Amino acid sequence: MPSATPAQQDAVRKDWDTYFMDIAYMVSTRSRCSRRHVGALLVQGKKLLGTAYNGAPMGVADCSEAGCMIVEEWEQRSGEAGPEMIKKQRCIRTIHAEQNLLLFTDRIDREGSTVYVTDQPCWTCANMLANSGISEIVFHRAYPKDADKVGRLMEQKGIVFRRLEEGYEPPPQAGLAVTD
Ligand SMILES: [Zn+2]
Ligand SMILES: [Zn+2]
């Protein structure tokens, strides 16, 4: 078989966004919460400095052992006839991936770095990331609930906040365990 030309190799070679988001999705498979698998990475330049996923604190029973810890909350959504309230269930047993990433990385490594995360951060995570030294957040799946206020916060802080463009496909091994 003739070997691939450099141009052919470039065509199949993953760009950096795809490369790192694929890794974030593979990291998310470590999560034991059946409702949501989230993975997050800290990247400086092109160097991977940390990985994290959502989970219970170390040594504490996780969702697969103790079940999810469900709370119900009312959430405002824009419906056809104006805003409407919807009751939503959330699992609060886990520390979110972004928060675990902050717990397991050093401030000095975070200064000017990029966070890749499979899901758009919630308000609490976004608020913490905004104060963590990072300068860019790249996510894939949307999280509409907090999107407006998180977007405004990132703009105020001057943190680049972007969603991977249409056409990105997570690696098939990562599955799609998300319940909203
Ligand atoms: Zn759970
Ligand atoms: Zn969060």
pLDDT greater than 80 at residue 135: yes
Q: Which ligand places an atom closest to the C-alpha of 89? A: 1
Confidence of residue 2 (pLDDT cuts 50, 70, 90): low
Cα of 82 vs centre of ligand 2, distance in Å, is 27
| Helix %, strand %, coil % of the chain (to 5) | 35, 30, 35
Kind of pairing between the strands at 39-44 and 136-141: unpaired
Domain 13-54+95-174, what fold?
A: Cytidine Deaminase; domain 2 (3.40.140)
- Of all helices (H) and strands (E), which one includes residue 124? helix 123-130
pLDDT greater than 70 at residue 18: yes
> Average pLDDT in the 10-39 region?
92
Cα of 35 vs centre of ligand 1, distance in Å, is 6
Q: What is the mean pLDDT of the chain?
A: 92
User: What number of CA atoms fall less than 13 Å from residue 4's CA on the CB side?
Assistant: 8
Positions at the binding site for Zn(2+)? 96, 122, 125
Sole residue written with tokens 């999810």: 68
The pLDDT assigned to 79 comes to 80
pLDDT greater than 60 at residue 140: yes
User: What number of CA atoms fall less than 13 Å from residue 72's CA on the CB side?
Assistant: 3
Residues with a catalytic annotation lie at: 98
The pLDDT assigned to 13 comes to 76
pLDDT greater than 60 at residue 68: yes
Cα of 96 vs centre of ligand 1, distance in Å, is 11
> CB count, 10 Å around CB of 139?
23
Q: How many helices (H) and strands (E) does the chain have?
A: 7, 7
